[in-house]
A and B are shown apart, each in its own frame.
Chain A
């Protein structure tokens, strides 16, 4: 026979401050892991996304189609599937990675397929005359990219990249599926030992809010300063 909820409610307060303080250190440790994964994953997404965007602009036959297909596959399948895939399939090819590293790789590659589109828009927004002036001066391709095109394209894409960092941060909890102890996983573990979930999950949510909200404010200020593509 189910226990009436009123009985449970009477047995314990809805919010127990003492318990909340008790679980906080574990959650903060998990937050550090979450931030680490976000920063490493973002670095990968920004670097790889730029490589993809530049490669696609170069329109090298075959390679262009391969890159295009890869980007479409990644964009059209759930991140969670990609995480499982990397975690379970990669070892079959002799590539055994820690769950942490799988998380960084999966998020980084997944987001690279989105940041590449951001870079592409930024690169396309540089007027054609800039390419033509570089050609007229016989600048080498590499120099045209690094000295003329990217310095004009990158400031404009920073806000959009910032937004992707924030969404990646909020998607790190997907990695609980492969056992990474990030914030939500830590909250779940704490809760499953005491059967009290309200405090850990609430704190987990507040931790995300405490970082995401100021970060998105920062991105908005950046948007006002540099404009958007």
Chain B
């Protein structure tokens, strides 16, 4: 479903990702872990086209996100091409990023009507159904600013799902939440993981969640994948000293 080949990303002289290769199969849940600055979030931002890669190619669902064919040659993708491929990808942000000038309903129906061309009734039905899933049916006409962080994040998850994405990107979605609200959001994500066959890429510091949610965990360090294993293996018997140190540090903190 997702293929990174030889992807490079630099900010000025600082190399964030170098010669990065990895593949994610359809329906797989992959958690990205590692110290901050190791390039995990950059991977999600590249997939969401919030940033452009400096080298290499990224494919999503068989389509190339970074390049396109024109006259038999591969050229950098233009806005229109990117837009088409991007529709299949949804993202949930650390800071929720709900639109504060719209109600919860407005947030949920905006893109389905404007981008997917759903009728108002269809989009509304979808919004109602998704709010039920995230347990916020009674907040449909509330403004996001009136909601708690946990509620805002549930709405943001519903908003991403309203686009029926094939791929869902979760960028530290519980990092900005008060501790007592984290468990609820994680339970919701587990529920979504079980009920749907969406491919999920998740950057997280919640090792307990990674352990039972992920099919595979990628350990990042210095812009490279240094370890790629099922959670049962990676958390119990990591191959690398770096992974062991990282896990120890994270577990000590928690």
Interface residues of A (CB under 8 A from B): 127, 129-130, 132-133, 135-140, 143, 147-148, 151-152
A130-B99, A132-B50, A143-B114 are known contacts. Are A138 and B86 too (CB-CB below 8 A)? yes
Give Cα distance in the complex from A139 to B93, angstroms: 16
A132 x B93 contact (CB < 8 A): yes
Q: Does B115 contact A (CB under 8 A)?
A: yes
- B contacts with A: majority SS: loop
* A154 closest partner in B (C-beta): B101
The 10 closest A-B pairs by CB, nearest first: A137-B111, A133-B97, A129-B97, A136-B91, A151-B101, A138-B115, A138-B87, A129-B95, A138-B86, A152-B101
CB-contact partner of B114 in A130, A132, A140, A151, under 8 A? A140
Q: Does B206 contact A (CB under 8 A)?
A: no
* B84 closest partner in A (C-beta): A138
B51-101 interface with A by 8 A CB criterion:
83, 86-87, 89-91, 93, 95, 97-101
Interface residues of B (CB under 8 A from A): 48-50, 83, 86-87, 89-91, 93, 95, 97-102, 110-111, 114-115, 159-160, 163
List A contacts of B114 (CB < 8 A): 139-140, 143, 147
* B112 closest partner in A (C-beta): A137
- A contacts with B: majority SS: helix
Quote the shortest CB–CB distance from B148 to chain A (angstroms).
18
List A contacts of B87 (CB < 8 A): 138
Give Cα distance in the complex from A152 to B115, angstroms: 21
A138-B111, A147-B110 are known contacts. Are A133 and B93 too (CB-CB below 8 A)? yes
Most buried by B among A130, A132, A140, A151: A132
A135 x B50 contact (CB < 8 A): yes
Give Cα distance in the complex from A153 to B94, angstroms: 23
List A contacts of B95 (CB < 8 A): 127, 129
Quote the shortest CB–CB distance from A166 to chain B (angstroms).
27
Quote the shortest CB–CB distance from A153 to chain B (angstroms).
10
Give Cα distance in the complex from A143 to B163, angstroms: 16
B99 x A133 contact (CB < 8 A): yes
List A contacts of B99 (CB < 8 A): 130, 133, 147-148
Give Cα distance in the complex from A203 to B189, angstroms: 71
Quote the shortest CB–CB distance from A176 to chain B (angstroms).
44
Give Cα distance in the complex from A116 to B48, angstroms: 31
Quote the shortest CB–CB distance from B200 to chain A (angstroms).
15
List A contacts of B91 (CB < 8 A): 136
B110 x A132 contact (CB < 8 A): no
Give Cα distance in the complex from A135 to B82, angstroms: 11
A132-B50, A147-B110 are known contacts. Are A139 and B97 too (CB-CB below 8 A)? no
List B contacts of A127 (CB < 8 A): 95, 97
List A contacts of B89 (CB < 8 A): 136
Give Cα distance in the complex from A152 to B97, angstroms: 13
A136 x B160 contact (CB < 8 A): yes
* B91 closest partner in A (C-beta): A136
Quote the shortest CB–CB distance from B156 to chain A (angstroms).
8
A138-B83, A138-B87 are known contacts. Are A129 and B49 too (CB-CB below 8 A)? no
List A contacts of B115 (CB < 8 A): 137-140
List A contacts of B100 (CB < 8 A): 152
